[in-house]
Amino acid sequence: MNHYLVVFDRSSGTVLRRQRFNVRADALEARFAEERRHRDDGDIEVVVLGASSWDALVRTHARYFKGFDQLAQDALK
């Protein structure tokens, strides 16, 4: 399993950083560094997510990668 660090700006709906790690501990270390870096910005969300691939992650956690309009359109399908 791969571990992906995602730094997401809620206010703009954009991914500021994404990085793949093979070792979970390395991903968590990077997460904590990003959380310290953005600690004064409540719009920034920092997560580590596990998935077999980036494409799988995009499918399972679409809110980080698709805009509101696309999410709404997908929900109507």
Question: What's the pTM value of the predicted model, to 2 decimals?
Answer: 0.81
13 pLDDT more than 60: yes
What tens digit of pLDDT does each residue of 17-31 get? 999 999 999 999 999
Query: What is the pLDDT confidence band of residue 73, given thresholds at 50, 70 and 90?
Result: low
For the chain, what is the domain count?
Answer: 1
Residue 57: name the closest of 14, 19, 31 by CA: 19
pLDDT at 22: 96
What tens digit of pLDDT does each residue of 33-62 get? 999 999 999 999 999 999 999 989 888 887
Number of C-beta neighbours around residue 27 at 10 A: 21
What is the span of the domain harbouring residue 66?
2-75
